[in-house]
Structure 1
C-alpha cells in the first residue's frame, strides 16, 4: 500500500464497554458474540490507568434501545475524575437518547436504508427516517456506520444508505460483514471485494471522510480489501501495514 494515500488508525487503545450482561435479540450477524469480549461498565474504573478512551455500548432491548440511563452519572463522574473520552454506540432507539449528551464525546450509529434488511438482521422494525430522527437532534458529534454485506454477505441497501447519509454528514464509516461462528450467518461468505470497492467508490464521491472501520474480515481478505479500497478511504482502521497515525476509535478523528 501507498502509505501517503490514507491515515492508519489503531483502535486497540479504546476499550469496549457494555452496559448490559447480555443481548436478548440474538441478531443474525452477532448473536451476542461480541459482548463476551467487552468489559462491563461497573468494572470500567479498573482500566483508567491503561485506557483514556472507551466505546460505550451494550446489548439492545427488544425495542432497539441500549439502557445507558442507569450509568450516566457514574460515567460522568469517571470522565471528570480521569479525563476520559467516550464514544457511545447507541443501537436503534425510537427517541433521541438525550441523557448521553452530557457525557458523550461522539455518537456512533448503524444505518440501514431498507427496513426489510434491518428486520432480517436484527429482528427490529425501523424505517430509515426513524433511525435519523433519533440521532440528528443530539447536540454532539455523530458518525454514521454502514456495514457492507450485512445481509449474509449480500450487497443490498448500501448505496442507497450512503446517498441518504451524505445529505446530513461529512463522514461515514464503512464496515464489512464478518461471518461469525455460532450465529445465523455463520456459514455466509464476506461480500466480494469488487462489490465492496464499488460502495467505497460511491462514498468517496459523496463524503469528505470515508473510513474503513474496524469490522473487516481477517487474513488474506483483509490485505486484498485494503489494497483495493485504499484510494477511496482517507482512514483505514487496522491497516495491514501496521503503520498508525491515530490511536482509538476512528469516530474520534473523522
Structure 2
C-alpha cells in the first residue's frame, strides 16, 4: 500500500509530470531493478529490427464468436472479430489442440459478455482443464464478473491469469458498458477472484469514458485492496465503426499520470502498459513516457521505446507471452 507521505496525483496536481515520472521510475528501479520486458503475443503482428514474434505463439480466442450482449460504446464487438471463434466446447477443444500442435506457448481466452457482465465460461471449463492436463499451454482468461464457482474452477484448473477490467465510475459502467451494475460489483469480483487463489491481473482502461479521465484513480484504489499478481494499464483506442470512432483518446500525458499513480499506490506490484492503446504517433509518445515512468513491461512497444530503454541502460528482454504473465518474471 502507498505511504501517506507519497505524492498522489489526486491530491498533488501541482506536481509537474517530469517530477512525477522521476519519482515513479526511482521507486520502480529501486524495487524491481533497472530492467524492462517487452511482450509481443501474436494476436497482434509484431516485427522490426529488434524482434519478430511467431504468428502462432499466442493467439486470442473468443468463446462467443463475434457475439456480445453489451455492445459497449468503445468496442461494439469489433475487437472480437480479430479472434479465433470457438463458440462451442467442441470447437474450443479443436482450436486449442490445433494451436498446441502448431507450437503455441499460450493463448488468450476471451469473448463477449452476457447482459449481467460475465463472460460465459462455465460450459468451457472442462475443455480448459483437459487441455491444461495434456499440454503446457499457458492460459490467460478474460472473466468479466465472476461468482465463487467460476473463480474456484479457474484456480483449480490452474489458469495462468484471470483478467478483468476494473471500472471506477458508475456513470462509465452504465453509459459505456451499457451495464446495470456498480463499482461495488467490480470490487466483489476482484475479491472473489483474489480469494480463489487464481493469479489475478486487473486492467485499468484510461479514457474509457469517451476519452475523459473518470474513475481511473478509483479503480487503482480498489485494486490496491488486494494482493494482485500484476496490473495492466491500457487506454481507449478509437475503433472504426463504433460510437467512439471519432473520439479523441486520452493524451499520452494523462496515460502517464495513471501509470505514475499506479506505481505509487502499488509499489510492489509489477506494472505493464498493455497492448490496447492508440496508434502512432500517439503511441510513440505514450511508450516513451511509460519507459520514463519506470514501468516494468510494455506490450508491442514502439521502436522508440526500445531505443529509449537502451539509452537509459536498462536490461531489456522480449517474450511472446501475454503481458499479464509479467508476474512470473518478477516473483
Q: What TM-score, normalized to structure 2?
A: 0.71
Does residue 19 (structure 1) correspond to residue 78 (structure 2)? The answer is no
1:69 paired residue among 95, 103, 122: 122
Which of 262, 286, 295 aligns to 1:225? It is 286
Distance 2:134 2:226 in 1: 34
Q: Is the CA contact (8 Å cut-off) linking 2:105 and 2:321 kept in structure 1? A: no
Name the counterpart of 1:32.
77
Residue from 234, 237, 240 that aligns with 1:178: 237
How far 1:56 sits from its partner (Å)?
A: 0.8
Q: Distance in 2 between matches of 1:186 and 1:156?
A: 19
Q: Flag the structure with higher strand content.
A: 1
Deviations 1:4-50 (Å, cap 9, x if unpaired)?
A: 55321112232111111211221101111111111123223221123
Q: Is residue 179 of structure 2 the alignment partner of residue 121 of structure 1?
A: no
Secondary structure, counterpart of 1:153 in structure 2: coil
Instruction: After TM superposition, give the deviation of residue 142 of structure 1 in Å.
Output: 0.3
Q: 2:260 is matched with which residue? A: 201
- Secondary structure, counterpart of 1:88 in structure 2: strand
1:190 equivalenced with 2:252 (yes/no): no
Alpha-carbon separation, structure 1, partners of 2:81 and 2:146: 22
Retained in 2: the 8 A contact 1:149–1:177? yes
Measured against aligned partners, the alpha-carbon deviations of 1:39-98 in whole angstroms (never above 9, x if no partner) come to 123223221123121111111111111111111112211221122111111012465623
Q: Which residue of 1 aligns with 2:39?
A: 9
Distance 1:226 1:62 in 2: 35
Instruction: Quote the offset at 1:244 in angstroms.
Output: 4.4
The 1:237–1:106 alpha-carbon spacing in structure 2 relative to 1, beyond 3 Å, is same
| Stretches of structure 1 lacking an aligned partner (at least 5 in a row) | none
Structure 1 partner of 2:210: 152
TM-aligned CA deviation for residue 122 of structure 1? 0.8
Q: Does 1:238 align with 2:296?
A: no
Instruction: Report the CA distance between 1:182 and its aligned residue.
Output: 0.8
Runs (4+) of structure 1 exceeding 3 A deviation are 93-96
In terms of mean alpha carbon deviation, does 11-20 or 132-141 score higher? Answer: 132-141
Q: Is the 8 A contact 2:284 2:302 kept in 1?
A: yes
Larger Rg: 2
Q: Secondary structure at the match of 1:175?
A: strand
1:45 matched residue in structure 2: 97
Identify the residue that residue 253 of structure 1 maps to in structure 2.
Answer: 326
Matched residues in 2 for 1:66 and 1:163: separation? 24
Identify the structure with the greater helix proportion.
2
On the 8 A contact 2:206/2:255 being kept in 1, the answer is yes
Query: What is the Cα deviation at residue 247 of structure 1?
Result: 1.9
The count of corresponding residues between Structure 1 and Structure 2 is: 251
Is structure 2 residue 197 aligned with structure 1 residue 139?
A: yes
Residue 152 of structure 1 deviates from its aligned partner by: 1.1
